[in-house]
Amino acid sequence: MMRCVAVLLLAACVSVQADTYMHNPRGSNNRLNERSANRNNGNRMFDSQNNNRGGYNVGDSTDQASGNEAQQYRMKYFESGPYKTMVADGQLTGQGQSLMTIEWTNQHGCGGDEDTDPHKLNCNIVLQYMCQEDSVTGDDAIRNGRTTQTQNHNRINNLNENQNTANNRKNNAVRDDRGLHEMWDWYDKCYNRERNMGLFTADQKLKTNNGNGYSSAIYTRQNPNGNRRGYECPEERDYYPYWHPSPWKDMAILVSNQSLCEFYQSESFNVKQKYECVETYGAGNTGTAKHWSRWNNEAECTENGGQWLAFTNYLEKAPQLTTQAACEANSGTNGMRYVWGRPEGETAEQCLVALDPPDCQPAPWTRVNHLGNTRGGQASRYEWTMPYFPSDNTQRCVMRLRYNITTDDYDPINTDASQNQNINAGVLSPIEQNPYVDIGADRLALRLAINTAQYGRTFQDRSHAFLIMPRPAGADMAAAKIFNLNVRGKRGNIVQVYPAVEYDFIPNDLEINQGDLVHIQWTGSNTHNNNAPGGDGQTGDAGEGRGGTDRSNIVQMLDRLENFPMPFEQTTMWTEAQVKWIYTGTTNMEPMDLAVNIASSGYYECMKAATCQGDSVQNKNKMNNLLNNAPASYGGALIEFAQGEYFYMGSRNNNFSNRSQKGRLMIK
Ligand SMILES: *[C@@H]1O[C@H](CO)[C@@H](O)[C@H](O)[C@H]1NC(C)=O
Ligand SMILES: *[C@@H]1O[C@H](CO)[C@@H](O)[C@H](O)[C@H]1NC(C)=O
Ligand SMILES: *[C@@H]1O[C@H](CO)[C@@H](O)[C@H](O)[C@H]1NC(C)=O
Ligand SMILES: *[C@@H]1O[C@H](CO)[C@@H](O)[C@H](O)[C@H]1NC(C)=O
């Protein structure tokens, strides 16, 4: 075995430290609001396997650090229009999309077709999201929290615990001041379900006892000791497509081998039912269903009195269609697809809004050991066509990006538990921890850097909570194409922010057609001080204005080679712009009002007291010229611009030659 690894690995094994960071929407990397360059708690919500320095704080609504969740700013995106899903001859009509530019960096390289453009590793990027109605409160509500502590979990003391005991365990564990994505029930289910014993674990020694006498899905090759991060399930985290139901909806999978697309798209839980064992409290299958079962396969499930049930993934529920017949009869009308099925975590079948298979595309090509741009000079991007929720109820969501890298040192797809190290049975794992290789010269051994827990490895980043809201009313609204224009980056110079990035608009070069709408919005924090501890890098927050604060605005300039805004009288960007919606609700805005609102990041709502009274330039106290007293986040305006080419900048952050925050908007 060692002979053959020698040649391969010296070439392919570069560094096991790799990372992925989302820049738009801002990836938390498990940060919340800490003023330090390092995150406080890498186990807060999910297992990133990233460096402690990465990530962006949650946005603040005002010029002050938020003390509670209500003061945090949640990005608000408009959903796609209903036509997005209207299928004509198998094609989307192409109308009414809401497009979000997702941008990230990944360190170890990605992309490249294995046959025509081979890379040094195999890589997949899995993009997913999870939503619930924004009205949900209580233990199961998706939230950012206001402290950086991890939610608690205590294991079952007695496998025959009754429902009250289970409820108490949950109520005693879940805290409303801590962040939550997956629910407590999901993690508890994972903790109690036997792990998939067919998985390849190399020579890692996974714990064999979860405290109740067996090994469970919290132990994996990458997480052999069963460490917990938030309520994420380690087995589900490490493997995609997962074989049991999960709360995540697949957005896209970006691959290096495109012939795998068919597999991913047909195996996605979006379109394929997944099974799970359901047991009940009390005898037979009569009592209330438990949220967990030890059994992970049909045979053991039914032998032990459980029911092996199919679950269906869905966008949202359609409770207005109360029967299977009504559900199925309405599917296909008005472009909506419904499916009768059982949602994850529940037992009753009901009418659900069906999901499309995930998009599958080649992963953007990036260089190994380079946390930077792809070919073409932009960081890796994916343009997400956001979903349409027929209920038109505002959704609270979070998105997740997993960056999964493997090499050919073992066949990543066909290597299973039969090749796990078992010295007694004479089985050697195809990869071993830090092996010594003989390169020919007698007794000259070289040690290779192989950590089998990281050989085949998954990194992750997630957004903070955001909202997807219904489109504004209006005859032309449903079919309009909406482009989101946001700001990325955080305060500090290139070294202080790394591996996050400095400020820029995203997308900073947007070419759209007349009639398309631009949704301008940004979020920033008041706590990006990047203080000590700084871990692997320099601390500090070089920049304009009050320390620790992110601020942005938009002022027009003549040309992108310049660094001076134009006087308002000469600007063209706002003069014929039509405001379709604005966060203030103001309906009678003049171009000048819009200009001042966006230039002041929402500090002023308008020019004259007659239009917006106390928040007008006429009446309100003067704004600080570096936006110190302006809100860190701009609540958003949906605008139809007139034909033309516009250049703009952020007046506070643009600082030639240190920093450029400039953009171009072209309306064709
Ligand atoms: C791509 O995947 C297909 C399907 O699994 C496989 O047959 C093929 O060998 C893969 N290509 C390469 C270059 O690995
Ligand atoms: C990562 O890749 C390995 C090998 O192909 C696969 O078994 C695993 O399911 C993948 N995990 C994710 C999260 O994509
Ligand atoms: C511009 O950027 C540099 C480097 O971050 C900083 O030192 C300086 O204070 C900034 N502002 C001005 C007005 O130069
Ligand atoms: C840019 O930053 C350097 C230090 O990083 C500073 O010396 C220089 O003055 C800055 N330029 C401006 C215009 O502030």
Inside any domain, residue 458 = no
Structure-token pair, residue 22:
């989302």
Distance CA 20, CA 590 (A): 43
Residue 655 Cβ contacting ligand 3 at under 6 Å: yes
State residue 658's pLDDT score: 83
Distance from the alpha carbon of residue 259 to the mean position of ligand 1, in angstroms: 7
The answer on 615 and 492 residing in a single domain is yes
Inside any domain, residue 148 = yes
Cβ neighbourhood burial of 538 (10 Å; 0-12, 13-18, 19+):
middle
Mean pLDDT of 332-346: 90
The answer on 317 and 190 residing in a single domain is yes
State residue 3's pLDDT score: 30
State residue 92's pLDDT score: 53
Yes or no: say if 254 and 361 are a contact pair by the CB < 8 Å rule.
Answer: yes
Residue 114 Cβ contacting ligand 1 at under 6 Å: yes
Atom 14 of ligand 1, nearest CA residue: 114
State residue 598's pLDDT score: 97
Atom 2 of ligand 2, nearest CA residue: 404
Ligand 2 atom, smallest distance to 238 CA: 13
State residue 16's pLDDT score: 40
Peptide bond before residue 247 is cis, with ω within 30 degrees of 0: no
Yes or no: say if 98 and 385 are a contact pair by the CB < 8 Å rule.
Answer: yes
The answer on 517 and 384 residing in a single domain is no
Distance from the alpha carbon of residue 634 to the mean position of ligand 1, in angstroms: 47
Say whether pLDDT at 18 is over 80.
no
Inside any domain, residue 419 = no
Distance from the alpha carbon of residue 435 to the mean position of ligand 1, in angstroms: 28
Closest-lying ligand to the alpha carbon of 414? 2
Residue 651 binned pLDDT confidence (cut-offs 50, 70, 90): very high
Say whether pLDDT at 99 is over 80.
yes
Distance from the alpha carbon of residue 551 to the mean position of ligand 3, in angstroms: 15
The answer on 396 and 499 residing in a single domain is no
Mutation to probe ligand 2, out of 406, 411, 419, 462 (largest number of atoms < 8 A from CB): 406
pLDDT by residue (tens digit) across 223-264? 999 999 999 999 999 999 999 999 999 999 999 989 999 999
Atom 1 of ligand 4, nearest CA residue: 658
> Which of 27-36, 140-149, 278-287, 319-328 comes out lowest in average pLDDT?
278-287
The answer on 497 and 368 residing in a single domain is no
Residue type at 568?
A: F
State residue 17's pLDDT score: 53
Yes or no: say if 22 and 448 are a contact pair by the CB < 8 Å rule.
Answer: no
Inside any domain, residue 440 = no
pLDDT by residue (tens digit) across 350-396? 999 999 999 999 999 999 999 999 999 999 999 999 999 999 999 99
Inside any domain, residue 155 = yes
The mean predicted confidence, pLDDT, of the chain is 92
State residue 93's pLDDT score: 56
The answer on 284 and 370 residing in a single domain is yes
Residues with CB under 6 A from ligand 2: 124, 126, 238-240, 402, 404, 406, 412-413, 456, 458
DSSP 160: T
pLDDT by residue (tens digit) across 190-213? 999 999 999 999 899 999 999 999
Distances (CA, A) of 63 to 23, 60, 524, 527, 531: 22, 7, 9, 10, 19
State residue 530's pLDDT score: 97
The answer on 491 and 375 residing in a single domain is no
Range of the domain at 271: 20-72+109-406
Distance from the alpha carbon of residue 240 to the mean position of ligand 2, in angstroms: 5
Yes or no: say if 303 and 335 are a contact pair by the CB < 8 Å rule.
Answer: no
The answer on 395 and 495 residing in a single domain is no
State residue 642's pLDDT score: 97
List all residues 6 or more positions away from 111 whose beta carbon is below 8 Å from its beta carbon: 119, 123, 254, 256, 362, 363, 364, 365, 366, 374
Closest-lying ligand to the alpha carbon of 363? 2
pLDDT by residue (tens digit) across 405-445? 988 888 877 888 888 999 888 888 888 888 888 776 666 77
Say whether pLDDT at 504 is over 80.
yes
> Which of 134-138, 281-285, 307-311, 466-470 comes out lowest in average pLDDT?
281-285
Residue where one domain finishes, among candidates 378, 406, 434: 406
Question: 3-state SS of 129-194?
Answer: EEEEECCCCCCCCCEEECECCCCCCCCCCCCCCCHHHHHHHHHHHCCCCEEECCCHHHHHHHHHCE
> Which of 78-92, 222-236, 243-257, 634-648 comes out lowest in average pLDDT?
78-92
Which of the two residues, 362 and 335, has the higher pLDDT score? 362
Mutation to probe ligand 3, out of 495, 651, 658, 660 (largest number of atoms < 8 A from CB): 658
Inside any domain, residue 421 = no
The answer on 307 and 175 residing in a single domain is yes
Distance from the alpha carbon of residue 562 to the mean position of ligand 4, in angstroms: 17
Say whether pLDDT at 637 is over 80.
yes
Residue 409 Cβ contacting ligand 3 at under 6 Å: no
State residue 2's pLDDT score: 31
Mutation to probe ligand 4, out of 497, 564, 653, 657 (largest number of atoms < 8 A from CB): 657
Which among 539, 373, 407, 404 has a CA at the least distance from the CA of 18?
A: 404
The 10 Å Cβ neighbour count of residue 513 is 10
State how many domains the chain has.
2
Residue 450 binned pLDDT confidence (cut-offs 50, 70, 90): confident
State residue 441's pLDDT score: 61
Inside any domain, residue 512 = yes
Residues with CB under 6 A from ligand 4: 655, 657-658
Distance from the alpha carbon of residue 563 to the mean position of ligand 4, in angstroms: 15
Mean pLDDT of 78-95: 64
Closest-lying ligand to the alpha carbon of 492? 3
Structure-token pair, residue 452:
């089998």
Distance CA 174, CA 115 (A): 49
Inside any domain, residue 526 = yes
Say whether pLDDT at 75 is over 90.
yes
Ligand 3 atom, smallest distance to 655 CA: 1
Atom 3 of ligand 2, nearest CA residue: 412
Atom 5 of ligand 4, nearest CA residue: 658
Yes or no: say if 102 and 381 are a contact pair by the CB < 8 Å rule.
Answer: yes
Q: What is the CATH number of the domain that holds 645?
A: 2.60.40
DSSP 570: G
The answer on 280 and 147 residing in a single domain is yes
List all residues 6 or more positions away from 420 whose beta carbon is below 8 Å from its beta carbon: 200, 201, 202, 203, 427, 429
Residue 10 binned pLDDT confidence (cut-offs 50, 70, 90): very low
Which among 242, 229, 296 has a CA at the least distance from the CA of 273?
A: 242
Residue where one domain finishes, among candidates 406, 421, 440: 406
Q: Which is it for the CA torsion 130, 134, 135, 138, positive or negative?
A: positive
Atom 1 of ligand 3, nearest CA residue: 655
In the chain, % of residues over pLDDT 90: 78
Atom 13 of ligand 1, nearest CA residue: 114
The answer on 180 and 42 residing in a single domain is yes
Distance from the alpha carbon of residue 243 to the mean position of ligand 2, in angstroms: 12
Closest-lying ligand to the alpha carbon of 563? 4
Residue where one domain finishes, among candidates 355, 390, 406: 406
Say whether pLDDT at 462 is over 70.
yes
Parallel, antiparallel or unpaired: strands 555-557 and 517-522? unpaired
Residue 21 binned pLDDT confidence (cut-offs 50, 70, 90): very high
The 10 Å Cβ neighbour count of residue 183 is 22
The answer on 534 and 391 residing in a single domain is no
pLDDT by residue (tens digit) across 103-119? 999 999 999 887 788 88
List all residues 6 or more positions away from 479 whose beta carbon is below 8 Å from its beta carbon: 81, 83, 95, 96
Which of the two residues, 122 and 402, has the higher pLDDT score? 402
Distance from the alpha carbon of residue 500 to the mean position of ligand 1, in angstroms: 34
Report the first-to-last Cα separation within the chain, whole angstroms.
Answer: 61
Query: What is the pTM for the complete model shown?
Result: 0.93
Atom 4 of ligand 4, nearest CA residue: 658
The residue behind tokens 């190290």 is: 421
